[in-house]
Structure 1
Amino acid sequence: MESLVAQDSLATVQDSVAIAQPDSTIGQTVDTKVSQFKDFFSFTKIFMSLVVLFGTYFFTRVLSFLLGALAEKRSSYRLILKRVVPFLNVLIWSTAIFIVIAGIISPPIETILTVGASVGIAVGFAAQDILKNIFGGFIIIMDRPFQVGDKIEVDGYYGEVTEIGLRSTRIVTPDDSLVSLPNADLVSNAVSNTNSGALDCQVVSSIFLPATVNVEKVKEIARRAAVSSRYVYLKKPIVIVSENKVFEQNYVIQLKVKAYVLDIRYEFLLKSEITELILKELNTLEMVPESVQVKRGVS
């Protein structure tokens, strides 16, 4: 009888141990996860990651500055050097992020997938506009509707592209204002590109003259003015056209001088010089009264 009671007691103890076993396993699992988390995000790894990221930031800034300065000194390579900068920045940052994730933190693939999915969903809801601009930046870099150094016009803004970023594109207007345009707008709207990657571009100057003026004589004067300009690109054709217009209920002649500038940076200098040379000779010959209207055309 005592033997049976002892056996029952032993069985009860074994059952209790078996029931308590899962709790111990759960505790060990939690401890393991916490230990893995500490290993992934230890002070050393966080410090090394910050060093890589800050080092990458300063390196890209210095590289962009040096290439920009070199581009201004070498006018023949100016556009090429400026267009290399966005690609180098994307390449350098991609490499740095890969080094931080794969080389320093080194999480298991399951962790990367889980965290990536969670972050992707959260960011997708919280920053839809930012993501649109980032995707727009990649499209601009890959499709290349314009490049750094091009003169573009979009949404009423006209200027030279100075930087193509992942979120926005920056242009400098003729009055030296810096305008940031969201990449999403640039992808969805029509963009006019003046030079399409070339160093030169066409410049159009317009002059309104009285209907009684000798058109052929004025065209000769305009051609001489364009050819004698310091900024004209003589390897490209110079075209001069005239058209009858109505200005303030009077018939006038609009004379357009279409010439190419050596460097897009001198676009407005060419316009101004051609206009001044034409008016100077017309006034010398007394062919035009003082009421002549001059309009700077759009290139």
Structure 2
Amino acid sequence: MDGDNNRDSALRLLNDFQDISFSKVALIILGTWLAIWAVRRVLPYLAANGPAHARLYLLGAVPIARLVMTAVAIVWILPIIFNITVQNFLVIAGAASVAIGFAFKDYVSSLIAGIVAVFEKPYRPGDWVTIDGDYGEVKRIGLRAVTLKTADDNMITAPHNVIWSSNISNGNDGAKTLQCVAEFFVAVAHDPARIRSALQDVALTSAYLDYHHPVLVVLKDEPWGTHYKIRAYPFDMRDQFQFISDMTIRGRKAIHAAGYEPASVGIMPEPTGPGQADAAG
């Protein structure tokens, strides 16, 4: 009889209700929620008001801390509710795998991708990334999705499982600055060396420039003229759009002061059908 009782006890998945401390479970959940809430408020505040070199490290610690605290809470709660044995673990794992596989495939795929993202770091809080054509700053990395804030102040939410099928373009990859590009189009008749020198001076005299990185001016001949690009780095990547605007305005003035005009890039005509083409001819 004792053997049968021990076997029944081992196979029982849930502890007896009178043995489950629901108040303790509630306190663990509440404490974990408060700790995560505090981390999500305190670390970004310290990142915004602390040393610039520590900003990305503090922001990157938020999803890691949340993941660790959630895992600790789950491990703490499971023995309170469930009768943890090897047999029960196999039963729960098998049932959960089947249910998850059919009902929550995409959701679990995003959760797993989120864990991978925390350690492989294709994006971190504070990074400027492009995901499915949306460019913005990573504001939050949740368990299922990443939230971007675009330059137009839109909040974009993308599930983590996008990393399985799409390329993630990361502008700074954890660094405190990123490359900005200002583009110019100049008509064919001009002195390329003079324009290149003038555009380099435009970048070097910008108030937003980070002098620790090189300034490059590259050019490419096109049928309609020459395409110039200033590649430079702002001191703070949050100033990237002001930096590009500043270089663009002063770059146009420099080209005009040199006596040259911008190129007129023609618009390709709309494709026409056979009947329209004949009529036009």
Q: What's the TM-score bracket when you normalise by the shorter of the two chains?
A: 0.7 to 0.9
Specify the alignment match of 1:187 in structure 2: 164
Hey, what's the Cα distance between the residues in 1 that align with 2:18 and 2:145? 35
2:104 pairs with 1:127: yes
Compute the displacement of 1:172 (Å).
1.5
Hey, what's the Cα distance between the residues in 1 that align with 2:13 and 2:107? 30
Task: Give the alignment's TM-score, normalised by structure 1.
Answer: 0.77
Specify the alignment match of 1:150 in structure 2: 127
Hey, what's the Cα distance between the residues in 2 that align with 1:291 and 1:243? 13
**Which of 193, 196, 213 pairs up with 2:173?**
196
1:107-150 alpha-carbon deviations (Å, 9 max, x no partner)? 24144443343233223321111011111111111222232222
Letter matched to residue 125 of structure 1: F
| Gap change, CA 1:148 and 1:37, over 3 Å in 2 | closer
Hey, what's the Cα distance between the residues in 2 that align with 1:117 and 1:128? 15
Does the CA contact (< 8 Å) of 1:140 and 1:187 recur in 2? no
Letter matched to residue 146 of structure 2: T
Hey, what's the Cα distance between the residues in 2 that align with 1:240 and 1:291? 18
Specify the alignment match of 1:208 in structure 2: 185
Specify the alignment match of 1:240 in structure 2: 217
Specify the alignment match of 1:266 in structure 2: 239
Compute the displacement of 1:289 (Å).
4.2
Hey, what's the Cα distance between the residues in 1 that align with 2:64 and 2:16? 31
Q: Hey, which bits of structure 1, 4+ residues long, moved more than 6 A? A: 290-293
Q: Secondary structure at the match of 1:51?
A: helix
Hey, what's the Cα distance between the residues in 1 that align with 2:134 and 2:14? 52
Does the CA contact (< 8 Å) of 1:40 and 1:106 recur in 2? no
Specify the alignment match of 1:117 in structure 2: 94
Does the CA contact (< 8 Å) of 1:238 and 1:257 recur in 2? yes
Compute the displacement of 1:56 (Å).
0.9
Specify the alignment match of 1:64 in structure 2: 40
Does the CA contact (< 8 Å) of 2:185 and 2:263 recur in 1? no
Hey, what's the Cα distance between the residues in 2 that align with 1:245 and 1:43? 79
Does the CA contact (< 8 Å) of 2:125 and 2:140 recur in 1? yes
Taking the TM superposition and a 5 Å limit, the aligned residue runs for 1:169-188 are 169-188=146-165
Letter matched to residue 126 of structure 1: A
Hey, what's the Cα distance between the residues in 1 that align with 2:208 and 2:16? 61
CA RMSD, 1 decimal: 2.5
Letter matched to residue 269 of structure 1: Q
Letter matched to residue 164 of structure 1: I
Moved more, 132-141 or 41-50: 41-50
Specify the alignment match of 1:227 in structure 2: 204
Hey, what's the Cα distance between the residues in 2 that align with 1:155 and 1:38? 44
Bigger fraction of residues in helix = 1
Hey, what's the Cα distance between the residues in 2 that align with 1:136 and 1:290? 47
Does the CA contact (< 8 Å) of 1:164 and 1:170 recur in 2? yes
Does the CA contact (< 8 Å) of 1:40 and 1:107 recur in 2? no
Mark the runs of 5 or more structure 1 residues left unpaired by the alignment.
1-24, 294-299
2:229 pairs with 1:252: no
**Percent pairwise identity:** 24
Task: Give the alignment's TM-score, normalised by structure 2.
Answer: 0.82
Hey, what's the Cα distance between the residues in 2 that align with 1:105 and 1:121? 21
**Which of 52, 73, 78 pairs up with 1:96?**
73
Hey, what's the Cα distance between the residues in 2 that align with 1:211 and 1:108? 77
Specify the alignment match of 1:20 in structure 2: none
Compute the displacement of 1:243 (Å).
1.6
Specify the alignment match of 1:168 in structure 2: 145
Letter matched to residue 36 of structure 2: T
| Gap change, CA 1:292 and 1:222, over 3 Å in 2 | farther
Does the CA contact (< 8 Å) of 2:172 and 2:178 recur in 1? yes
Does the CA contact (< 8 Å) of 1:154 and 1:186 recur in 2? no
Q: Secondary structure at the match of 1:115?
A: helix
Compute the displacement of 1:42 (Å).
3.8
